């Protein structure tokens, strides 16, 4: 093996965010940028010598180049083996599964998830630990430290390998096993869900539309929904992963998956619609004329998971991120399950799952998953819903209506203000912080504020503390406003405003969420002083 030790200097700003390091693709393509960070990953985990890693990404622009660089660097750092999806492709949940299945030392996943891809869009990289989950804050902090003192990196000088060819290749002294990215993941799904029941429901006439948004889930959805479950060819649309996602914004929400929404709200809509994001870990669930909010989806899954064979013995406990609505809490209470509230980002669920405290987790940002892997999992959620539909022999709208009748409804919405000046967005929050102490007892629009604080999480498993995880204002009736800045964007700041109001029923369960939330929305505007701070009160994206 011919190892070059390349002199370099620290590059400013290599700080991992909510889910790894995300930057403009052009930034990643700058000299030494990717190499510095990959070396920082290896340094942060105590080196790569003797280790085995899974490597793959969502296929976005620069994925192919980055995989070759990572393999040469892993080899030069002494790794013994890499497992790579064919073509350098792996969905995030499939990568998590492969890390666990092969008992490897971790994996490097290339994705900027729901952010658009292409030479002028976004790229990202993150490290997952041997449990299959995203590196915790203690490890990402070490990555930043290593990046900030980077002076040299090691890389094997050799040719690219042919990642289209299945089988074993050599990169220096490291062996690279190129595998089918779909097969093991699809097999895992068969162990969790009742494929026979779903197949029978499809044969019996349930019509499905799955929008892969020209991103990584296309091949997975084709294999599982069409090949293994017998849905007609064409069930999966936008099925070909493309480096720029066909110019689409691969974020499965009503705004960016508009074509799917139009079909599901149009005449002769399919019985079930779903979409996934760039790297396959998010999901959106839609029925005919029925949009299921991710927080409600989590609650419905908690209430019905026992209908799927992998969860027939019941759940161990549930967890949701703090901004996610409390709908799942109500199910947990009724079923006597522990319910945990964590900061935003999947990395906070890992310890709870590893310790056997929870088996179902979810976020309001279209993320749902279980302890079958250590990432959220888009197709898993789709299959869970199909399993529930098949077993209950009811439609999406009926299931939602019954759920709301039983538990009441947590009206919920997230308003995103994008492309803000970072200093102004930070000023809005620090101003809010200064006024929070005086808020309890304050009356606004006839509602009384019960508490106002900044969410701080103490991990119940390892005791680690994460500060500053979102500003929350809670009203006497449990209605909430939560605000935080996004940690996944690449330009300026995005302010996320999360809004929630609970209606116990039986009346008032069928309102438009924006109408039901109107007083909370207006309170959020007033209390944050957003007009003065950011010069506007209308969000860019409402989900």
Annotated catalytic residues are 113
CB-wise, 122 or 194, nearer to Co ion?
Answer: 122
User: Quick check: 517 and 502 in contact, CB under 8 A?
Assistant: no
- Least distance from Co ion to the Cβ atom of residue 250, Å: 8
DSSP 8-class letter at 146: H
- Which 3 state secondary structure label does DSSP give 148? helix
CA distance 434 to 427: 11
Tracing tokens 């296929």 back to the chain, one arrives at: 59
In the complex, which residue's CB is closest to ligand VG1?
Answer: 113
Q: Which two tokens stand for residue 348?
A: 């906070």
Nearest alpha carbon to residue 122 among 211, 62, 212 = 62
Which positions touch Co ion (CB under 5 A)? 113, 277, 279, 281-282
CA distance 368 to 543: 16
User: Quick check: 25 and 122 in contact, CB under 8 A?
Assistant: yes
Nearest alpha carbon to residue 328 among 304, 357, 356, 312 = 304
- Does residue number 344 form part of the binding site for ligand VG1 (CB under 6 A)? yes
- Does residue number 211 form part of the binding site for ligand VG1 (CB under 6 A)? no
Residues in the chain: 543
- Least distance from ligand VG1 to the Cβ atom of residue 248, Å: 15
Nearest alpha carbon to residue 387 among 189, 539, 217 = 189
- Does residue number 254 form part of the binding site for ligand VG1 (CB under 6 A)? no
- Does residue number 543 form part of the binding site for ligand VG1 (CB under 6 A)? no
Q: Of ligand VG1, Co ion, none, which one sits near residue 43, judging by CB under 5 to 8 A according to partner kind?
A: none
- Least distance from ligand VG1 to the Cβ atom of residue 497, Å: 11
Nearest alpha carbon to residue 419 among 541, 279, 526 = 541
- Does residue number 281 form part of the binding site for ligand VG1 (CB under 6 A)? yes
Query: To the nearest 10°, the Cα dihedral for 186, 189, 318, 209?
Result: 80
Residues 6+ apart with CB under 8 A from 94: 56, 85, 181, 182, 184, 185, 220, 280
CB-wise, 194 or 363, nearer to ligand VG1?
Answer: 363
- Does residue number 105 form part of the binding site for ligand VG1 (CB under 6 A)? no
Nearest alpha carbon to residue 429 among 493, 491, 378 = 493
- Does residue number 488 form part of the binding site for ligand VG1 (CB under 6 A)? yes
- Does residue number 486 form part of the binding site for ligand VG1 (CB under 6 A)? yes
Which one of residues 18, 63, 77, 370 is an interface residue with ligand VG1 (CB under 6 A)? 18
Which one of residues 105, 211, 271, 363 is an interface residue with ligand VG1 (CB under 6 A)? 363
- Least distance from ligand VG1 to the Cβ atom of residue 144, Å: 17
- Does residue number 114 form part of the binding site for ligand VG1 (CB under 6 A)? yes
CB-wise, 226 or 279, nearer to Co ion?
Answer: 279
Number of other residues whose CB lies within 10 A of the CB of residue 191: 10
- Does residue number 365 form part of the binding site for ligand VG1 (CB under 6 A)? yes
Number of other residues whose CB lies within 10 A of the CB of residue 219: 24
CB-wise, 96 or 113, nearer to Co ion?
Answer: 113
- Least distance from ligand VG1 to the Cβ atom of residue 96, Å: 12
- Least distance from ligand VG1 to the Cβ atom of residue 489, Å: 6
User: Quick check: 534 and 420 in contact, CB under 8 A?
Assistant: yes
- Does residue number 96 form part of the binding site for ligand VG1 (CB under 6 A)? no
Nearest alpha carbon to residue 215 among 65, 437, 61, 351 = 61
- Least distance from ligand VG1 to the Cβ atom of residue 478, Å: 22
- Does residue number 345 form part of the binding site for ligand VG1 (CB under 6 A)? yes
- Does residue number 277 form part of the binding site for ligand VG1 (CB under 6 A)? yes
What end-to-end distance do the CA atoms of the chain give, in Å?
52
CB-wise, 201 or 275, nearer to Co ion?
Answer: 275
- Does residue number 154 form part of the binding site for ligand VG1 (CB under 6 A)? no
Q: Of ligand VG1, Co ion, none, which one sits near residue 346, judging by CB under 5 to 8 A according to partner kind?
A: ligand VG1
Which residues are at the interface with ligand VG1 (CB under 6 A)?
18-19, 113-114, 277, 281-282, 321, 344-346, 363, 365, 367, 486-488, 496
């Amino acid at each position: 093996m011919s190892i070059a030790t390349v002199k370099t200097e620290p590059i400013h700003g290599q700080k991992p965010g909510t889910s790894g390091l995300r930057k403009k693709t052009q930034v990643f393509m700058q000299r030494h940028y990717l190499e510095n960070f990959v070396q920082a990953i290896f340094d942060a985990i105590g080196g790569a010598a003797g280790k085995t890693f899974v490597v793959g990404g969502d296929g976005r622009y620069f994925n192919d180049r980055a995989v070759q660089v990572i393999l040469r660097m892993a080899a030069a750092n002494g790794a013994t083996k890499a497992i790579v999806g064919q073509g350098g492709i792996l969905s995030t949940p499939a990568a998590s599964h492969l890390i666990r299945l092969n008992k490897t030392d971790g994996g490097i996943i290339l994705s900027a998830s729901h952010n658009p891809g292409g030479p002028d869009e976004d790229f990202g990289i993150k490290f997952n630990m041997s449990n299959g989950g995203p590196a915790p804050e203690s490890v990402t902090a070490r990555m930043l430290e290593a990046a900030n003192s980077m002076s040299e990196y090691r890389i094997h000088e050799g040719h690219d390998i042919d990642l289209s060819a299945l089988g074993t290749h050599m990169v220096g002294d490291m062996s690279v096993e190129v595998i089918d990215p779909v097969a093991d993941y699809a097999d895992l799904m068969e162990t969790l869900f009742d494929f026979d029941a779903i197949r029978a429901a499809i044969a019996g006439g349930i019509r499905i539309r799955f929008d892969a948004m020209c991103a990584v889930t296309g091949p997975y959805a084709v294999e599982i929904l069409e090949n293994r479950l017998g849905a007609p060819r064409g069930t999966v649309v936008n099925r070909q992963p493309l480096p720029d996602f066909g110019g689409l914004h691969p974020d499965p929400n009503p705004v960016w998956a508009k074509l799917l929404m139009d079909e599901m709200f149009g005449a002769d809509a399919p019985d079930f619609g779903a979409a996934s994001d760039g790297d396959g870990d998010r999901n959106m669930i839609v029925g005919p004329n029925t949009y299921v909010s991710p927080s409600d989806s989590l609650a419905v899954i908690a209430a019905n998971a026992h209908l799927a064979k992998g969860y027939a013995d019941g759940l161990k406990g549930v967890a949701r991120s703090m901004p996610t609505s409390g709908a799942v809490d109500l199910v947990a209470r009724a079923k006597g399950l522990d319910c945990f509230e964590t900061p935003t980002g999947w990395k906070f669920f890992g310890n709870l799952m590893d310790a056997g405290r929870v088996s179902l987790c979810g976020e309001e940002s279209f993320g749902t998953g279980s302890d079958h892997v250590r990432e959220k999992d888009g197709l898993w959620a789709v299959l869970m819903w199909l399993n529930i539909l098949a077993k209950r022999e009811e439609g999406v709208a009926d299931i939602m209506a019954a759920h709301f009748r039983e538990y009441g409804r947590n009206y919920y919405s997230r308003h995103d203000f994008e492309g803000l000046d970072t200093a102004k967005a930070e000023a809005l929050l620090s101003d809010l912080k200064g006024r929070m102490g005086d808020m309890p007892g304050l009356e606004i629009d006839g509602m009384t504020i019960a508490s106002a604080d900044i969410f701080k999480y103490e991990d119940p498993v390892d005791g680690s503390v994460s500060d500053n995880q979102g500003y929350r204002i809670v009203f006497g009736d449990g209605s909430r406003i939560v605000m935080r800045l996004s940690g996944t964007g690449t330009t300026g700041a995005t302010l996320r405003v999360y809004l929630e109001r609970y209606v116990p029923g039986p009346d008032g369960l069928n309102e438009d969420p924006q109408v039901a939330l109107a007083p909370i929305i207006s309170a959020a505007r007033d209390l944050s002083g957003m007009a003065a701070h950011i010069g506007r009160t209308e969000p860019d994206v409402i989900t």
